[in-house]
Chains A and B, each alone.
Chain A
Amino acid sequence: MAGYLVRRLLQILVTLFLFITAAFFLVQAQPGDYSSFFALNPELPPEVQAQVRANFGLDKPLWQQYLIHLRNMVTGNFGISFSHYPQSVREVILERLPRTVALFLTATVVSFYAGFFLGKLLAWRRGGVVEYAATIAGVGLFTVFTPWFGLMMIWLFGFKLDWLPLGKFLDPEVWRDAPVTANQVFAWMLITAAAWSAFLFVALLAAPRLGWRLGAWPRLAGVALTLALVAAVWNWTGAGYLALDILKHLTLPVATLTLISFAGTMLLTRNSMLETLREDYIMAARAKGLPEKVVRDRHAARNALLPVVTSLVFSLAFAVDGGVITESVFSWPGMGMTLLEAVLSEDLPLALGALSFVGVLALVAHLVADVLYVYLDPRVHYQ
């Protein structure tokens, strides 16, 4: 297991190296070089331009520039951003990466659970009107044109019903007299969310061992209780209204990304369940007289889970892409929007940095899903 992890990690590092190389030469291959883009930019003073030239080694041959670029990547020095000057690329990315991770992580986890649950039920009730309707709706959501869907969501919830803000990260009016910065509040929100989900996870694992057999409703009530506790603590710190503002802005992008990515999981779970239900061990479980719910959840769904997780591994890049599109539509200032803005304003260092980090995000997510699979399928041996 440890050996497998190390090998996988090495593979990921090699992939990362190849990706960074490809990104570098992609940006290099376009007409002109960095210097031609910033030479005419009045916001960059000459000494900064000279510094950029030295940093990127623009007066040296290409292979030396490449080596300098690799060194810069390792040391985290991505240069300055032309469009966000005087901020450096690293500052811009450090500010925006957590926002993307929050969006992507929430949407992926929620959509996976929802998709698996619904797909399971669909396969179980095969052939009804509900199944047809859900399949059509699922295919619709799976293939819907993401920007269009996002715009429709904004129009419906932001404009027509006026429940949620139209986009962006926060409402400046709320934050005018705020004693803390948005980044600090957001960092604490992330810490809270991580601690809360870790607590729930441990509680979920520990409860059956301690001999507590709770039904669905008491469990839900427990979750609601912890949630209320978290809200109370935030309210007590006085930053509750600020967190609520960010949360309001986060809701619509997360909902959109979840809706478009859960359908794929749902359709695949349905197929996988249908295949599993034909296995002999399902018939054996039924013949033993086990309750239908146990057959469905413990015997069929547990085995149908494996191909779904495999495809999750494959679809993570797709989810990262969906995040990029969603961010641009909702003006959510994360990596995706940064990337689009950077290429449109020809801010090459920022574009290269953002592209590299979107790649890193996809790679890390891939590795996590891979490791998860090892735990889920005891039949697979990893040397």
Chain B
Amino acid sequence: MAGGAPAPPPAELASSPDSVGVWRARLRLALLGFRQGWAIFAESRIGLVGVAIIVLFGVMAVSHPVLMATVWDPSVYDPVTGFAFDRPDHPAPPSWRHLLGTDPLGRDILSQLTFSTSSAFMLGMVAALVTVGIATLIGAVSAYFGGPVDAFFMRLADLIIILPTISLLIVLTALFGINLFQLALVLGILGGFGGTAVVIKSQALSIKVKPYIEAARLAGGGPFHIIMVHIVPNLLPLSLLYMMFTVTGAIFSEAVLSFFGILNVRMSWGIMIHTASTGGYLLAGAKYWWLVVPAGAAITLLCGSFYLVGRALDEVVNPRLRRR
């Protein structure tokens, strides 16, 4: 820092003749990193089990519209308004026409189950993207600037961490009647300004002191450039990891709120259990198992699979956990 104005940033770096080569090299590096990461990931059977379950649910989500368009008659199999005329008794036990039986209102359980899968995925994805988007940006900004910015965001995160989220959401959903997408946004905002931001910021702090950040600053990079080009890309692996945990939390919260019957959605796994519970079919023993077990197992399995993938990713991101 021996005086003199900092050199102007090398203009139009990206469009120089070499840029194609640079991008090719970057692509190759990314592929290599991905392959190495996958090798570590695949080593843990837990992660593979998680991926398998997620793929299974993906197939289920895709199968519903396809089946509705081809095999299933909408007047019978619609998850909300359908009615199984072919059975006199509802809830009817599993049969060939209704593989998982029908609910007390005569609707097909399998159709409800597969229909709810895609909305669960949508909710999880939106909540995770919003969470990680906010958290990564806040983490990078507060680590880079420090001082009052950092203090403000971290105190805000402290506040959100100790909030009883479900209790707050119960009040919010019951009084305002929010729908699935709004719930995803609320969950994403709460998560993004909360605990995830703290974790990502601590990682950003360790990146901020790396020599290449110093080099970028000496080369004349402004705060925006350094945060977006040098800090955020290095935070992405950790962000990906926290996306997985966010998905688990989001699906869980949605299911709890619809189980209480206060969320404004047409059909979801939580509502399926709510229907069985308010109808008084739960204590009839195992006789009406198909009303509760498929939906409960679906929630548990999908939450669990994202959590398992998250844990396997943890071993990729955090070398101290590896066995070698």
Instruction: Enumerate chain A interface residues (CB-CB to B < 8 A).
Output: 11, 15, 18-19, 23, 26-27, 29-30, 132, 135-136, 139-140, 142-149, 151-152, 154-155, 158-160, 166, 267, 271, 274-275, 278, 314, 316-318, 320-321, 324-325, 328, 336, 339-340, 343-344, 351, 355, 358-359, 361-363, 366
Contact = CB atoms under 8 A, between A and B. Distances in A.
Given A275-B321, A320-B164, A324-B164, A151 B292 contact: yes
Nearest to A145: B299
Tell me whether chain A's interface is mostly helix, strand or loop, or mixed. Answer: helix
Interface in B281-306: 282-283, 285-286, 292, 295-296, 299-300, 303-304
Contact of B175 (A11, A30, A147): A30
A159 B288 CA distance: 14
Nearest to B304: A143
Contacts of B46: 135-136, 139
Given A274-B321, A343-B170, A155 B282 contact: yes
Given A15-B159, A139-B304, A317 B171 contact: no
B164 A328 contact: no
Contact of A160 (B164, B285, B311): B285
What 5 A-B pairs have minimum CB-CB distances, sorted nearest first? A148-B296, A343-B174, A321-B166, A30-B175, A143-B303
Contacts of B195: 314
A46 to B, nearest CB: 26
A316 B162 contact: yes
B175 A343 contact: yes
Contacts of B193: none
Contacts of A143: 248, 252, 300, 303-304, 307
B167 A320 contact: yes
Contacts of B286: 155
A326 to B, nearest CB: 11
A177 to B, nearest CB: 29
Contacts of B259: 147
Nearest to B160: A317
B231 interface: no
Interface of B: 45-46, 158-159, 161-168, 170-172, 174-176, 195, 248, 252, 255-256, 259-260, 262, 269, 273, 277, 282-283, 285-286, 292, 295-296, 299-300, 303-304, 307-308, 311, 320-321
B304 A140 contact: yes
Contacts, number: 133
Nearest to B249: A318
A145 B303 contact: yes
A147 B256 contact: yes
Query: Which of A278, A343, A351 has the most CB atoms of chain B within a 10 A radius of its CB?
Result: A343
A362 B163 contact: yes
A145 B164 CA distance: 17
13 contacts: A139-B308, A143-B252, A144-B304, A145-B303, A146-B252, A147-B255, A147-B273, A151-B292, A154-B282, A314-B161, A314-B195, A340-B170, A343-B175
Contact of A355 (B167, B282, B304): B167
Contacts of A142: 304, 307
Nearest to A321: B166
A278 B320 contact: yes
Contacts of B282: 151, 154-155
Query: Which of B46, B277, B285, B296 has the most CB atoms of chain A within a 10 A radius of its CB?
Result: B296
Nearest to B314: A271
A317 B162 contact: yes
B162 A159 contact: no
A94 B255 CA distance: 30
Contact of A344 (B162, B174, B252, B320): B174
Nearest to A343: B174
Query: Which of A136, A316, A339 has the most CB atoms of chain B within a 10 A radius of its CB?
Result: A339
Contacts of B175: 26-27, 30, 343, 351
Nearest to B274: A147
Contacts of B166: 321, 324-325
Contact of B163 (A19, A139, A271, A339): A19
A129 to B, nearest CB: 12
A30 B176 contact: yes
A65 B159 CA distance: 24
B283 A159 contact: yes
Nearest to B308: A139
A145 B260 CA distance: 13
Contacts of A23: 171
Nearest to A148: B296
Contacts of A358: 164, 167
B304 A321 contact: no
B300 A363 contact: no
Nearest to B248: A143
A11 B172 CA distance: 26
A136 B171 CA distance: 34
Nearest to A271: B321
B97 to A, nearest CB: 27
Given A145-B255, A159-B285, A344-B262, A351 B171 contact: yes
Contacts of A363: 162
A26 B172 contact: yes
A370 to B, nearest CB: 10
Given A143-B252, A151-B282, A328 B260 contact: yes
A199 B256 CA distance: 39
